[in-house]
C-alpha cells in the first residue's frame, strides 16, 4: 500500500489504519504479532488504540494499550508505526456508564496520557486525540493542553474525536492566531451506511453529516479518520444471516436495504467482496479519508489492503 503524507506534518500514513479495540477480546492476545505483523507486511503503519479500550470487559483496564505496548517491546518495531491513541473518554467501568460525564479537564488528560505512555511502553505518541469533547471547556484551554504535551515531547501531533464542525472551526481559528499546527486529524462515525442510519444509542458520537462533510472538504489539514469503517459488520451480517440478524441495528433502515442491493451490484462490477466495497467508499470522497479497520484474521487484512488498489468510480457511490 502506498503511503501518503498528512499535510504539514512529518507523518506518512497508509490508506487505512488498524483498529485495535478488540485486542485481547475479539482476538486473542497471543495472536497480536501475527495480526499486526501481517498488517505491516502489507504496507500498513497506522496502529490505533485508546486508553479506554476495552475497559467495558472486566477485569483489566486499558487492555488494548497494554497488549500493543507488549508487542512494541517484543517486536522492536516502534519506529515502523504511526502510533495513535486517545484520552479524555468518560469512564466505562461499572454498570451503565454515564457517557455525558466529562473527563476532559487538564488533569484528566495528563492522567490518561501518562497512563498511555506507560501502557504502550513508549516515550511519545505520534498522534494523540481528545476522545470526546466538552463544549463547557473553552476551546483555547483544550488546545493549550495539547500544545503543552507537544512541548514536553510526549506527543508529536494531536487530533480530536467526536467533535462538532463548529468546535473544530473554533479550534482552527485559535490555532491560526497562535501560530500552532492545531488538529491534525478528526475521528468520526462515517461509512457506507451512516447517511441513512437511525440515531446511535450513544449520542456523544459525532457522525459525518452534511455540515461536517463541508468542513472537511474545506479543511484538508484536518485529516478525516473515520471509525466503524465497515458499519460494525452490518452489511456482512445481512449477507451471511439475512434480515433477522440485523433488525436491531441502527443501520437497519429502508434506505440501507436499498444500499445492500447496490452493494451486490458493485461487488459484481469490481469482482470485489463486501469489505472491499465498503472501504472503496472512502476512496471516492471529496477529501482524503483514512478509515480505521479492525480484524483478528490476517486473510481479511489482505482483502482490506487490496481494496485500495481497485479503481473505484465516484459515480457508483454518488448514484446511491
CATH of residue 269: 3.20.20.100
Asked if pLDDT for residue 202 goes beyond 70, the answer is: yes
CA 147 to chain centre: 22
| Count of domains observed in the chain | 1
Eight-class DSSP state of 243: G
Give me the pLDDT at residue 319, please: 67
H/E segment holding residue 158:
strand 155-161
Please answer whether residues 167 and 212 qualify as being in contact, where contact means their C-beta atoms are separated by less than 8 angstroms.
no
Asked if pLDDT for residue 230 goes beyond 90, the answer is: yes
CA dihedral (295, 300, 305, 311) positive or negative: negative
Residue 19 pairs in a beta bridge with: 48
Residue 87 pairs in a beta bridge with: 130
Angle at the Cα of 235 from the Cα atoms of 230 and 237, rounded to 5 degrees: 110
Percent of the chain at pLDDT > 90 equals: 96
Residue 18 pairs in a beta bridge with: 47, 293
* Strands 125-130 vs 4-5: parallel, antiparallel or unpaired: unpaired
255-282 confidence digits (pLDDT tens): 999 999 999 999 999 999 999 999 999 9
294-316 mean pLDDT: 93
Asked if pLDDT for residue 34 goes beyond 80, the answer is: yes
> CA 254 → CA 42, 186, 285, distances in Å?
37, 29, 23
44 — pLDDT class (breaks 50, 70, 90): very high
148-171 confidence digits (pLDDT tens): 999 999 999 999 999 999 999 999
Mean pLDDT of the chain: 96
209-229 mean pLDDT: 97
Give me the pLDDT at residue 29, please: 94
Range of the domain at 109: 4-318
Catalytic center residues: 53
The model's pTM is 0.96
Phi-psi region of 271 (alpha: psi -120 to 50; beta: other; left: phi over 0): left
Percent of the chain at pLDDT > 70 equals: 99
Asked if pLDDT for residue 88 goes beyond 80, the answer is: yes
Q: Tell me the three state secondary structure of residue 216.
A: helix
Amino acid at each position: 500500500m502506498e503511503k501518503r503524507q498528512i499535510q504539514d506534518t512529518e507523518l506518512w500514513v497508509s490508506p487505512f489504519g488498524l483498529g485495535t479495540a478488540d485486542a485481547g477480546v475479539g482476538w486473542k492476545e497471543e495472536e497480536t504479532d501475527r495480526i499486526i505483523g501481517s498488517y505491516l507486511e502489507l504496507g500498513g503503519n497506522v496502529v490505533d488504540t485508546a486508553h479506554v479500550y476495552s475497559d467495558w470487559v472486566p477485569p483489566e483496564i486499558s487492555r488494548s494499550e497494554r497488549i500493543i505496548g507488549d508487542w512494541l517491546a517484543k517486536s522492536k518495531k516502534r519506529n515502523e508505526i504511526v502510533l495513535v491513541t486517545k484520552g479524555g473518554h468518560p469512564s466505562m467501568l461499572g454498570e451503565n456508564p454515564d457517557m455525558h460525564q466529562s473527563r476532559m479537564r487538564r488533569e484528566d488528560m495528563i492522567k490518561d496520557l501518562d497512563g498511555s505512555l506507560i501502557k504502550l511502553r513508549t516515550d511519545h505518541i505520534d498522534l494523540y486525540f481528545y476522545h470526546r469533547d466538552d463544549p463547557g471547556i473553552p476551546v483555547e484551554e483544550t488546545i493549550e493542553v495539547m500544545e503543552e504535551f507537544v512541548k514536553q515531547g510526549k506527543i508529536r501531533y494531536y487530533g480530536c474525536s467526536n467533535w462538532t464542525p463548529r468546535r473544530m472551526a473554533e479550534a482552527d481559528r485559535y490555532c491560526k492566531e497562535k501560530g500552532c499546527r492545531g488538529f491534525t486529524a478528526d475521528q468520526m462515525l462515517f461509512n457506507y451506511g451512516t447517511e441513512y442510519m437511525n440515531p446511535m444509542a450513544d449520542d456523544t458520537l459525532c457522525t459525518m453529516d452534511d455540515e461536517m462533510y463541508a468542513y472537511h472538504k474545506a479543511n484538508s489539514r484536518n485529516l478525516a479518520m473515520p471509525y466503524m469503517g465497515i458499519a460494525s459488520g452490518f452489511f456482512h451480517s445481512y449477507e451471511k444471516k439475512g434480515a433477522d440478524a440485523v433488525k436491531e441495528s441502527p443501520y437497519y433502515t429502508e434506505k440501507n436495504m436499498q444500499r445492500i442491493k447496490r452493494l451486490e451490484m458493485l461487488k459484481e462490477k469490481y469482482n470485489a467482496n463486501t469489505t472491499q466495497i465498503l472501504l472503496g467508499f472512502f476512496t471516492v470522497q471529496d477529501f482524503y479519508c483514512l478509515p480505521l479497520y479492525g480484524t483478528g484474521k490476517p486473510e481479511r487484512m489482505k482483502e482490506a489492503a487490496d481494496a485500495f488498489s481497485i479503481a473505484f468510480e465516484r459515480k457508483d457511490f454518488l448514484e446511491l
